[in-house]
Structure 1
Amino acid sequence: MQRFQYDETKLKPGQKEAAVLLVEYDFTDKDERKTKEEIAAEVGVSRMTLHRWETGDENFIAYKNYVASTYVNTYLPFVYKKLIDGISRGSMKGIELFLKRVGDLDERTELTIDDKRSDKSFEERKAELLARLNAKQGED
């Protein structure tokens, strides 16, 4: 997947499995998950190697992010169901999110200022202000 900028052909042996196990680690409650030592042993590498992959191997990190994104995407139907539930209860935030999603509401705002105070041009108003300033300076 281009968004994550990884090259699957450059993954080292065990990295695909390690990425899946590490994503499971991240998404599992602390008291129920494997330790990183257990993950390293399951993949057949040392804990330090696993740590180096996680913190310094950009290709591995990008692949792990892809795996995590794929996992999160499995929740999309659930998220949409909750959005519809909120809209059904009259949630304005839910309605706003839905309208943004379908493109009927965006952040662009158009502001038109119609100054009804004067029909004079900018140059005419500028000349009047300068004349008043000069008059005031003459008084001082």
Structure 2
Amino acid sequence: MATLKELQENLTPQQQMAAHLLVANEFSGKEKRSQEELAEEIGITRQALHQWRTQNVNFIRYQAALTDMKLDSYRSLVDSRLMALIERGPSNNGIPSIKAIELYYKLSGRLVERREVTQFTEQQEGRRRLTDEEVAQGLEELNDLLN
């Protein structure tokens, strides 16, 4: 996987600025700016910004890497809130949140969801396989019922 620096090298300064502004805008909450406002600040058209965001693989990867960095910066806050839910429960009633405990164990790798599919043979299920003639006869009977 390419580093942030390697991704950055494939973009113009305007594209780098655009990616930073887009990520900051997404995390800004209620104070979001329009794509047109961002494009104007960067010095490009809204269409050019849209094209970078949707068709330029290097730009998309760079913006995703910036978003990952931003999310990583919230890790200690999220972890502390998770632990508070475990310790005090969701409504501070002293009862731990089972969902929070489950999430903690999943994140720590101690709880893994596993689904097992078991395939039975027809003999194990106590059934026999129908012949083509039996299937055709059954279809005829269904058609007669429908008509």
TM-score range normalised by the length of the shorter chain: 0.5 to 0.7
1:53 equivalenced with 2:59 (yes/no): no
Question: Could you say which residue in structure 2 is the equivalent of 1:96?
Answer: 102
Q: 2:77 corresponds to which residue? A: 78
Report how many aligned residue pairs link the two structures: 110
TM-score (norm 2): 0.63
Residue 67 of structure 1 and its aligned partner are, at CA, apart by 1.0
2:36 alignment partner in structure 1: 37
Matches within 5 A, 1:111-122: none
Unaligned runs of 5+ in 1: 111-125, 130-140
Amino acid at match of 1:97: L
Structure 2, unmatched stretches of 5+, are 89-95, 117-123, 127-147
Q: Work out whether 1:28 is the aligned partner of 2:34.
A: no
1:76 Cα deviation from its structure 2 partner = 0.9
Using the alignment, how far apart are the partners of 1:56 and 1:102 within structure 2? 36
Change (3 A) 1:55 1:104: closer
Higher relative contact order (CA 8 A, sep 6+): 1
Residue 3 of structure 1: how far off its partner (Å): 8.3
Report which of the two structures shows the higher radius of gyration computed on alpha carbons.
1
What is the distance in 2 between the residues matched to 1:97 and 1:19?
Answer: 31
* Residue 93 (structure 2) pairs with residue 87 (structure 1): no
Q: In structure 2, what is the equivalent of residue 119 of structure 1?
A: none
Q: Determine the structure 2 residue equivalent to 1:16.
A: 16
Deviations, residues 82-139 of structure 1 (Å, cap 9, x unaligned)? 11111112111222222222233222479xxxxxxxxxxxxxxx9xx9xxxxxxxxxx
Q: Are residues 1:105 and 2:104 paired?
A: no
> What per-residue deviation string (whole Å, max 9, x for no partner) do you get for residues 20-43 of structure 1?
11112222235x222222211221
TM-score (ref. length: structure 1): 0.66
